[in-house]
């Protein structure tokens, strides 16, 4: 889980904010050197988000538009 620390630091700092995938990818790797590196970062971030969702640490909010929309992710607070 290469980007787990970056994702948890970002999302836990703003627990009430919804994040798009692109925002998380840009935070994890702000200056990718190629499209291949950006795609690899995207896959790594997706793995971390799926794991955090399964663990119950984040909410995954699916797109209302279906195809063509985007999923939102939010840190789950324990209160």
Query: Which CATH number is 35's domain given?
Result: 1.10.10.10
45 or 64, which is more confident: 45
Position 63 scores a pLDDT of 82
Mean pLDDT, to the nearest integer, of 16-33? 94
Instruction: Count how many domains the chain has.
Output: 1
In which domain, by residue range, is 53 found? 3-75
Residue 22 has pLDDT above 70, yes or no: yes
Q: Which pairs from 7-11 meet CB under 8 Å and 24+ separation?
A: 7/45, 7/48, 7/49, 7/52, 8/52, 8/57, 11/58, 11/73, 11/74, 11/75
pLDDT in tens, 55-67: 999 999 888 776 7
């Amino acid at each position: 889980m290469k980007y787990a620390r970056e994702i948890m630091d970002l999302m836990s700092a703003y627990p009430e904010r919804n994040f798009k995938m692109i925002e998380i990818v840009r935070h994890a790797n702000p200056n990718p050197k190629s499209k291949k590196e950006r795609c690899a970062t995207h896959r790594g971030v997706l793995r971390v988000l799926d794991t955090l969702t399964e663990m119950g640490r984040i909410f995954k909010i699916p797109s209302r538009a279906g195809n063509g929309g985007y999923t939102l992710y939010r840190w789950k607070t324990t209160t």
